[in-house]
Structure 1
Amino acid sequence: MNKLPRRQPWTCAKCLRQIQIQKRTNANVATAVGTPDSSYYENAHVGTTRDFKADETLLRHVFNDQSAWRDFSMRAKSTSGLIGNRHLTEPRGFQRFAESSLQKCKELVERVLSASTLEQYKTLPRDLDRLSDLLCRVIDLSDFVRTIHPNQNVAAAASAAYSLMFQYMNELNTTTGLNKQLRKAWDIDELQSQWTREEKMVAVILMKDFSKSGIDLPDAHREEFVNTSNDIANVGTDFVNGMEYQKGHVRAYKSQLNGMDPRYLQAMSRFTQTDIPVYSTLGKHIMTSAHDSDIKKKLYTAERTASTSTINRLEQLLLKRAELAKLTGYDTYAQLNLTDKMSKTPEAVTKFLLSLSANNRGQLRAELDQLLAVKCTKDPAAVNVEAWEHTYLVHQLKLQTATKKAPKSRLLEAASNYFAVGHVIQGLSSLFQSLYGVRLVPREAKIGEVTGQTKHHQTPIIALVCDFPDNSGAAEPSTLSPTSVTTLFHEMGHAVHSILGQTSMQGISGTRCATDFAELPSVLMEYFATDPAVLKLFARDWRTGELIPDELVNAMLQEKQDRAEQTGGWDNQTQILMAILDQVYHGAGPVQGLAGNRYDSTAAFHDVWNNYSIVREPAGTAWQGFFGHLYGYGATYYSYLFDRAIARQVWRAVFRDGEKGAAIEREAGERFKQEVLRYGGGRDPWHCLEGLMGDGRGVLAEGGSQAMDLVGQWGVGAGSEGQM
């Protein structure tokens, strides 16, 4: 019920999958690049006449050179506490920070509960937003530090501060007076005309969140809501952490492994049969290379069949969510969870997904036709491609074209030399300078309030935790693959959303927007990561300083296109099917199952796959037991596909597919900043899109089912710039 701050510590879904948190996060690059002398530190600054070259050089070296990093960090070392917090000069400072914040929270709560005059009610949205801010300052910071800090004492102190404030927040979410006071203020017509647009939006958001947390329920039902919510948290955690296969091994005969790497066959030379661990390296090689269809089907089925206990936990999660929805007056959990999203209703989500599926069908058909042609070279009578054959046939298709692409492959092997970490960071800075007029400069952070002419806003504090290669002591730089460059651009898209936000209230700042809109800036950034004009801003060979050659840029783009043409439609269909299944699982089925405390998730899974997929799922599987996102997303798994479709259209309509240097045009960047980024969550996302790309008909501004259908028609493209 932790709804008062409205947003939990926000984390990109893709980040959680692709970034493995490590204790060491700084990349080190060889001294062969050269260490800047002290003049670079003196000349790199913000706020006066700027030496751009000095800034760029410093930025590269701070990330590229271990000695440069040590020199800079010693110069910039703060004496004011961790992240500029005066309390956090030692571990026990977390306790002081939490207690100080807690006291301020209690004073604000008392102020809200005692409000009685018009002037006091007028400040309620900002008072509650300030309350949320105080809570989040401790909870978000403590959660971050306890996760990544290398010192166990600091991490433990941060965890204790987190628990203290989280417990208090849960108490607030059962304090009915806060909601009653806000609603009373909302009903005063005179205040409506005095509140700013942001204040109105924050008030609406908070009232919705209070309602969704069961605050209006009678005492007995509210207690039931709390208990059910706790049950959902417990069973959901058990489901995600306890996933297991129904069968751990599949028996394979040596005769079934023809086509595999001879080294595997040689290792099995003494045996006629062996047990293959499910979802193992050996199993992956079999799915990729073994000619025999039967063994691939056995492995595919085993890999997509969860244990009975895993399925039972999932079904209890779905039933508990259905129970929660009924408690709060909603027909389904999807209805409950979508009320504050862009989609608003399950029907609108379904319309989007079906429209997207229709858009993707042509690409998928083309891919399957290619694979069927490959299959027919060995089985002329073949008429379709089976699900368990897909990985193998894609591999065979790649082998057929490998000879033609050998020169390109050799060229791509050297691509990472052009992506030293410091060069990539400098490239992001150059891109932001071109698009938005802001850039990245290494310097000590100065935490505080930024004052404008008419309002105040917080200086955003953003941390990207990365697992860059650690080349400590090596005579060469830490470099990134093109795929890792794209990932870093994606994460920086989230950062720039907060950097450029201009809201005066914390609850709608930066990424604190509708969850099905939060991925737009980050997914859009993936397009920039492979754009030729952007690459020319920074991609230089760390050894020679040579700018990335056109031949290599073209090879990278061709590889991306080849991958899209071979598996883009298949990957899109998989995501669409998962999103449809998410809607079904949080729809009417589990509600109907409440009477008998039984819901057949396996039957629903096969119904979705067999009704919406071109390639049918074999009988006997129960893959839904491995769909861990069902717990975290709950009827919103469509969001990433949704933002991919929007990002694709923004790239086409605003940045003109990067043609003639459009990816680095200030006019296009300003347009995106002014219509989207600066608002954070302070403007209806549909109105942002209307202002950015509307055609005058107002379809986007109205939102709803028709707008969702239109976004589905845009499609996500054959090439998946990112995958869930």
Structure 2
Amino acid sequence: MRTIMQRTILKQLLNCNLNSTNLYFGTWSSLAATFNSRPDRKLTLSLKKENAGLFDVPELQSYEGFYYLKEQCILHTDKLIDEATSENRTRKMVEVFDELSDSLCKVADLAEFIRVAHPSAIYTQAAEIASATVSSIVEKLNTNSELYYSLLNVTNNGDKIPTNKVDNHVAKLFLFDFEQSGIHLPEVERHKVVNLNDALLHLGQHFVAGSTNPRRIRKEVLPESVRHIFSMEGDDVVVGGLCADSANSKARELAYRIYLQPDDHQDYLLTEMLKARYELAQTCGFPTYAHRALKESAIETPEMVMEFLDCLSDGLKKRAKNDFHIMSEMKRNEYPSNGPLAPWDIPYFRKKAKKQMFNVQNSEYSPYFSLGACMEGLDNLLHHLYGINLVIKEIVPGECWAQDIYKLAVMHETEGLLGYIYCDFYERSRKPNQDCHFTIQGGRMLSDGSYQLPIVVLMLNLPLPRWSSPTLLSPTMVDNLFHEMGHAMHSMLARTHYQHVTGTRCSTDIAEVPSVLMEYFASDIRVLKSFARHFQTKEPMPDDMLQRLCASKHVFTASETEHQLFYSALDQLYHARHPLNGSTTDVLAEAQAKYYSLPYVNNTAWQLRFSHLVGYGAKYYSYLMSRALASCIWQSYFEQDPLNRMQGERYRRECLAHGGGKPPRQLVADFLQKQPTPDVLVDSLLKDIDDKQKQIDEVQRKC
């Protein structure tokens, strides 16, 4: 039997292990205290000792479970195909298709996440096999003409079971997905579509792989004064990036010219990819690939995209040139004899301006942004807007792929549990070095009237907490955390009937709106004041620091927006009619002359490093579109009061709740109470830029 002293010591040790920061975080909430502790020191107090399986899926108690899941997926798919093509069907066709989609996504999404995130090779291999199996099933479905014509008949002539607007919209989305494979075409054209899609898959993979390859040159080519900045391998200098942060102007220039020099193989891959995409679009009945890519989007046509970009370009030119003038003066003062401002200078002077204008350095701000404080801030914000709270849930053995994962239950004050968020926040070896959101299970209405809860993973790459302090975030990390939580809330707060359109499963130009909107909250002084506290003293961040921080986030916004506009226009031009008017580099130079204030640098081919051309083909404009829509929403509903519950509820009810279950243009128009025309979008973006510049000017006067 333990003595009183032993029990006291044990209790202290337990408290220390469960919350190693209690010694200096005595007044943090339980949520903040948990996220400020070392996750690998948490104890499992559950009486459930057996392996629960990944994501609490019993079949995944070992990697072999993936083989079982894929076999079950095949059997269930066959059963649903029989139901969809049967004359005795008793459910809506769209309900059968959604269950078919759900059964495939449950295996594919989970397997794809484990493939990239699990540290064990045997798990990643099993997940990869499962993912490949689902891809094969999808390819088989895409050639099932009986299944296609069953859906086509219902879509064109109506279902024998009464349907509503949402049913009809989702059925059309399924039909369009089907027709992407050319199943509706005559045999010769259908085979051509299959071959083109296969070729595009391989071309895209090779292009993305080549976009990050370093350049190797003989060391004699570089001045001896800058060689030490680059990696050396024998007598070769290896240039693996742009050296954008280097204070050495010559090193920045050389890195830019060398890393972005033309590459015949990459140019061949890009040209062939654009050619194949054009052929694919033509075969499927579209004028261009851009028309095909923008079907069912919020902006609908490439002509409207270009109208938006041209209108924005006209409004930005004067504002962007003012930014570049300031940077030119900075360069002239620092490097009097190094020539005019060039593209390789922009990242360096943007970063330097933030420090010079507002004296904003990560080391000064990070102590106020412990991970726990940021999570407490998110919890407070979400409670004010939507009446929800983030509640730490215990993780049972076998549920997670690593030891340092947190699990959150999203609890609504009246609706109860809305879903689960797994927080994979800490860096580890072989983990993807990017911040992202993964859907593991989509929400949908089940046949018994209950709701299948959404499950997502948020992945960041934060440093682990130390014994002397919790994980401290830079301002950029805070923005990224809020951004990814915006995606998670889209998944959690959507209450769609069908998982095919739940949360982020919507058009690309809508999917980023909730996450970009969260960045507005992360840059609002009133929101930051609610949680930015020093991790040791718990003192709030001083107002002067808050003002400098928020202003620094908006330095040179006009020129940065113009840069993104140039990317977007180039993407549209590449995916218009083919063949191109010249080489891909000729099109780049022409687009840069029209849409960007700095001239093209001869003998460079930046587009050959632009891997987004693969994943965002003809859709890169979505970045600007999402920002324009987010700025409209912010200015109309949250700028006056970012914690307004009435507006938060309305935003959830009229936007987030629908996911992709409502035509995107109608969704936006109904919520904003006006059509999202190019003029409306551009006016909102320019107002946002001007407001941010006023904030900068005001803070500078105080400084």
Alignment of 1:400-549 (within 5 A): 402=356, 405=358, 408-409=359-360, 413-444=363-394, 455-471=449-465, 474-549=467-542
Amino acid at match of 1:200: N
Note the C-alpha offset of 1:441.
0.5
Amino acid at match of 2:379: S
Q: Is the 8 A contact 1:146 1:158 kept in 2?
A: yes
Change (3 A) 1:80 1:524: same
- Alignment match of 1:94 (pick from 62, 66, 90): 66
Any idea what SS the aligned residue of 1:440 has?
strand
1:672-700 deviation digits (Å, cap 9, x = unpaired): 11111111111122233223322xxx434
Note the C-alpha offset of 1:80.
4.2
Distance 1:583 1:135 in 2: 32
2:610 corresponds in structure 1 to 627
Amino acid at match of 1:368: F
Q: Is the 8 A contact 1:31 1:475 kept in 2?
A: no
2:10 corresponds in structure 1 to none
Alignment of 1:317-328 (within 5 A): 317-328=273-284
1:646 corresponds in structure 2 to 629
2:563 corresponds in structure 1 to 574
1:614 corresponds in structure 2 to 597
> What is the CA RMSD across the aligned residues, in angstroms?
3.6
Q: Is the 8 A contact 2:112 2:131 kept in 1?
A: yes
- Alignment match of 2:584 (pick from 601, 624, 629): 601
Q: Does 1:241 align with 2:212?
A: no
Note the C-alpha offset of 1:487.
0.3
Note the C-alpha offset of 1:252.
4.2
- TM-score (ref. length: structure 1): 0.79
Distance 1:511 1:630 in 2: 21
Q: Which moved more, 1:59-68 or 1:433-442?
A: 59-68
2:543 corresponds in structure 1 to 550
Distance 1:214 1:164 in 2: 21
Amino acid at match of 2:196: T
2:413 corresponds in structure 1 to none
Change (3 A) 1:476 1:316: same
Amino acid at match of 2:629: I
Amino acid at match of 2:632: Q
Any idea what SS the aligned residue of 1:466 has?
strand
Any idea what SS the aligned residue of 1:516 has?
helix
Amino acid at match of 1:467: N
Q: Does 1:671 align with 2:650?
A: yes
Note the C-alpha offset of 1:718.
3.8
Amino acid at match of 2:257: T
Alignment of 1:296-375 (within 5 A): 299-374=255-330
Note the C-alpha offset of 1:373.
3.9
Change (3 A) 1:643 1:720: farther
Identify unmatched segments of 5+ residues in structure 1.
Answer: 1-27, 38-52, 269-273, 594-598, 701-706
Q: Is the 8 A contact 2:245 2:347 kept in 1?
A: no
Change (3 A) 1:145 1:299: closer
1:226 corresponds in structure 2 to 194
Distance 2:109 2:19 in 1: 35
Any idea what SS the aligned residue of 1:464 has?
strand
1:13 corresponds in structure 2 to none
Change (3 A) 1:613 1:466: closer
Q: Whose strand proportion is higher, 1 or 2?
A: 2
Any idea what SS the aligned residue of 1:439 has?
strand
Change (3 A) 1:315 1:512: same
Q: Which moved more, 1:28-37 or 1:524-533?
A: 28-37
Any idea what SS the aligned residue of 1:355 has?
helix
Distance 1:78 1:352 in 2: 57
Any idea what SS the aligned residue of 2:510 has?
coil
Distance 1:669 1:196 in 2: 27
Note the C-alpha offset of 1:72.
5.4
Distance 1:424 1:76 in 2: 32
Note the C-alpha offset of 1:636.
0.4
Q: Does 1:212 align with 2:185?
A: no
Change (3 A) 1:130 1:389: closer
Amino acid at match of 1:360: L
Distance 1:35 1:68 in 2: 19
1:366-404 deviation digits (Å, cap 9, x = unpaired): 112223444666999999644455456667867xx84x7
2:112 corresponds in structure 1 to 143
Change (3 A) 1:568 1:490: same
Note the C-alpha offset of 1:625.
0.8
Q: Is the 8 A contact 2:585 2:607 kept in 1?
A: yes
Note the C-alpha offset of 1:467.
1.7
Distance 2:590 2:294 in 1: 24
Q: Is the 8 A contact 2:207 2:270 kept in 1?
A: yes
Distance 1:646 1:72 in 2: 44
Amino acid at match of 2:367: N
- TM-score (ref. length: structure 2): 0.81
Amino acid at match of 1:555: R
Change (3 A) 1:30 1:452: closer
2:31 corresponds in structure 1 to 59
Note the C-alpha offset of 1:171.
0.6
1:162 corresponds in structure 2 to 131
Aligned residues: 627
Note the C-alpha offset of 1:456.
4.1
Change (3 A) 1:331 1:419: same
Any idea what SS the aligned residue of 2:163 has?
coil
1:206-257 deviation digits (Å, cap 9, x = unpaired): 1112122211112222122111111110011111102347774683446x87
Distance 1:397 1:460 in 2: 43
Q: Does 1:637 align with 2:616?
A: no
Percent of residue pairs bearing the same amino acid type: 30
Q: Is the 8 A contact 1:457 1:505 kept in 2?
A: no
Q: Which moved more, 1:302-311 or 1:514-523?
A: 302-311
- Alignment match of 2:664 (pick from 652, 668, 685): 685
Larger RCO, structures 1/2 (Cα 8 Å, 6+ apart): 1
Distance 1:285 1:646 in 2: 32
Note the C-alpha offset of 1:179.
1.5
Q: Is the 8 A contact 1:359 1:715 kept in 2?
A: no
Distance 1:264 1:142 in 2: 41
